[in-house]
Each structure stands twice: as C-alpha cells, then as structure tokens.
Amino acid sequence: MTNEQAVYEQAERPRREALNESHVWCVYARRKYEEPLYEIGNVMADDVELAKVYARSIYDEFAWIEMIIVPRNSIVTIITS
C-alpha cells in the first residue's frame, strides 16, 4: 500500500465504521401452505425496513408464499448445541 492509499484508507475508516451493520435478522420462509416456516438464511441491517428489502432481494430463488424476519438477539435458546 502506498502512502497516499494509507492516508485515504485512514480518512475513509470512520465513514465505513459509521455504516457497519450490527444487527442480524434470521429469515424464515415457506413455499407451500402445508409446510412450516423454516430458516433460509440471515441478513445484517440496523434498519428493519432495509432488513426486509435485503431479505426479499437475497432470498428470491423461490416464489415464497410467506417470508418473515426475526431479530437474532430476540431468540431464546433452550438447549444449546
């Protein structure tokens, strides 16, 4: 890394850190009414509306009939793996 690049990186770091996402949302969906919801993945977003957009954009491989997101930190573990 050149000195100029290092200076640029240093100046940009606070901006990037300000945009770091810290909330994980678990994404659940199902394809048929007779199926239960199952976990298909997760997204990171601090804004719930953005979390919805991300979940729909990323997990668009099927024509889901239902999709929900749940904040991971609200999940209560009963039996740990």
Partner 1 sequence: MTSITKRTDHAALFAIVSSLADNKQAIGRRYAYWCNGAPALEAAVAAAAMTQDELGHARTLYPLLDNFAQAEADLSQIEPETRTLHYHLAFLDQDFQGWSDFVATNFLLDTALTTFFKAAQDSSYEPLRQRARKIVQEERIHQMHGEGWVRRLTNAGGAVRATMLRSLERLWDETLCWFGPADDLTMQELYQENMLNSTPDELRQRYLSEIMPTLNALAIEMPVRFDVETKSWQPSQPLPWSRWNALARRLE
**Given the structure tokens 């394809």, which residue do they identify?**
31
* Beta-sheet strand order (sheet of 24-30): 38-44, 24-30, 66-71
* Secondary structure of residue 76 in the 3-state scheme: coil
Question: What is the closest distance, in whole angstroms, from the C-beta atom of residue 73 to partner 1 in the complex?
Answer: 18
Q: Which of residues 1-20 bind partner 1 (CB under 8 A)?
A: 14-16, 18-19
CA distance linking residue 73 with residue 81, whole number of Å: 17
47 touches partner 1 (CB under 8 A) = yes
> Applying CB under 8 A, which of residues 27, 29, 45, 69 lies at the interface with partner 1?
45
Nearer Cβ to partner 1 (35/47): 47
Which contiguous run of DSSP H or E holds residue 42? strand 38-44
| Interface contacts to partner 1, rule CB under 8 A | 14-16, 18-19, 21, 43-47, 49-50, 52-54, 56-58, 60
